[in-house]
Each structure stands twice: as structure tokens, then as C-alpha cells.
Structure 1
Amino acid sequence: MNSESPREASEIVAAEWRRILEMSERRIDPAIPRAAHAHPRLGELFPMVSHGALYFSRCTQYPWTHDVAALFPRPGGFHVFRHSDKTVLGEPDTVEEAVGLIVANLPDGCGPAVDGNPDDL
């Protein structure tokens, strides 16, 4: 495990959230990270964006964890999918419902992201 304190890990997470919240609409619909970041449990996880989808990791370094569901936009709504076990959690119509699905299905013991990789959890 890295010798950094939890506060430093939270600063890494906060800096990445700031970067994502400022991204262009071409990268991600701004409503997605805004809604996710507004939820305290998701705002403490490490966020990532790829192809318009929002992913979360319980650690700040590669390889990322895949046990927290990701939020994908789809026509008319959202697709919530957990990569670790290839589970579709739902296809809600609103981003708030999608965030709620992710939070309701967080892994046991999921807390703030740690500065490290999955071996450090």
C-alpha cells in the first residue's frame, strides 16, 4: 500500500472529479458526472470517462476495480452495467435513477477510494 494518507487519496479523487466535471459535452453528457458526483458515496470513488460512459474505481491506480457499476448513456435513458460479473443492473430513464441503481449495488465494504491498486484494498 502506498504511504500516502487517506486525505491525499481524497485529493486525488477530488482532482479527477474536477477534471471530469469540466469535460466537454463531446466527451460526456455533463448531467452524468454532475448527478454521480452529487451522491456522497459515488463522489468518494475514483471516476473515469470512456466513450461517453462514466466508470468508478475503488482505487486511484491501474488496474482499476470493476466491481462498481458503470453508467452508459443510451437513446432515451441509461444503461447500468457491472463489468466484474457482467450484470446489467437496469436501464433507467433518468440519470438520477441510474445513480440510485449504482449506489444500491455498491460492493460490501465499499468506502472512499484508496491511493493504490486493487491489491491495496
Structure 2
Amino acid sequence: MTNNGTPQDAADIVAAEWQSILAYDEDLIDPVVPRTAYANPRLRGLFPMVSHGTLYLSRCTRFPWTDDIGTMRKLVVGGYRVRRESDKTVLGETETVQEAIDLIAANLPEGCGPAIDGTADDL
């Protein structure tokens, strides 16, 4: 809800969460990860979350969130592994953050658009 009691639309909720995450300290997430994801227009419309240094994206703004969008984890040997949580599919391994973000965007679920204000059950 906004201060005047009217509901925010999904785009406002998503934009506010992105601004929060983009301001996070390095100890929460490598800043290049959310910046690179935010630069992608399709990913920018999704609801972002951070846990244990990993950026998660959801097609909805409320719990339970979707888990069908790839996430990336830094590999000890360098590079990143991109994996979709919903079915545990490894989408690939990349050398750079940009390549990992591009791989996530290329593997968005069919019909994936901006996040809705609701839960995964509302999709």
C-alpha cells in the first residue's frame, strides 16, 4: 500500500525492490550481479530478491514466489553455473556475469512478462 492507502501496482512494487537491491552492500551480493540483471529489460520487470549472495527473480511480488527463473552461482574455479530451481535443470555454465544473465533471460518461461502483484498461485 502507498502512504495514502491506495494499492501500489506491480510495476511500482518491482521498481522499489530493484532500487533497494541495487543499493545493497557488497557483503550481501556482488553489486555487478543485480546491476547487470537490471540492465536487461525483461529481467528488470521481474521481482528481485537476494538470499545468501544469490539474486532470485520471480514472476510475482508476493510469497509464495515463482522458482522457474534461472539463478546463477559463482563457481570456485571461476565463472558461473546457471540453474533453474523449479526442476533443478542446469541451464549452462558461463565465464562472465553478462553471459549468465543473458542465459537466464534466454530461458525465461514461455509467456513470461512483468511480475504480477500476487503469488505464484495467481499465475
Normalised by the size of structure 1, how large is the TM-score?
A: 0.92
- Structure 1 match to 2:37: 36
Q: Post-superposition shift, 1:74? A: 2.4
Q: Is it true that 1:11 corresponds to 2:12 in the alignment?
A: yes
Q: How big is the shift at 1:73?
A: 2.2
Number of residue pairs matched? 117
Q: Which runs of 5+ in 2 are unaligned?
A: 1-5
RMSD: 1.4
Structure 1 unaligned regions, length at least 5: none
CA deviations over 1:77-102 (Å, ceiling 9, x no partner): 21211011100111201011001100
If asked which structure has higher relative contact order (CA below 8 Å, sep 6+), I would say 1
- Distance in 2 between the 1:12 and 1:79 partners? 29
Residue equivalent to 1:72 = 73
- State how far apart, in whole Å, the 1-side matches of 2:98 and 2:9 are: 29
Q: CA separation in 2, counterparts of 1:99 and 1:37? A: 10
* 1:102 alignment partner AA: I
Q: TM-score, normalised by structure 2?
A: 0.90
Matched, 1:57 2:61: no
Which of the pair has more CA radius of gyration?
2
Rounded to whole Å, the distance in 1 between the matches of 2:53 and 2:74 is 7
Identity %: 60
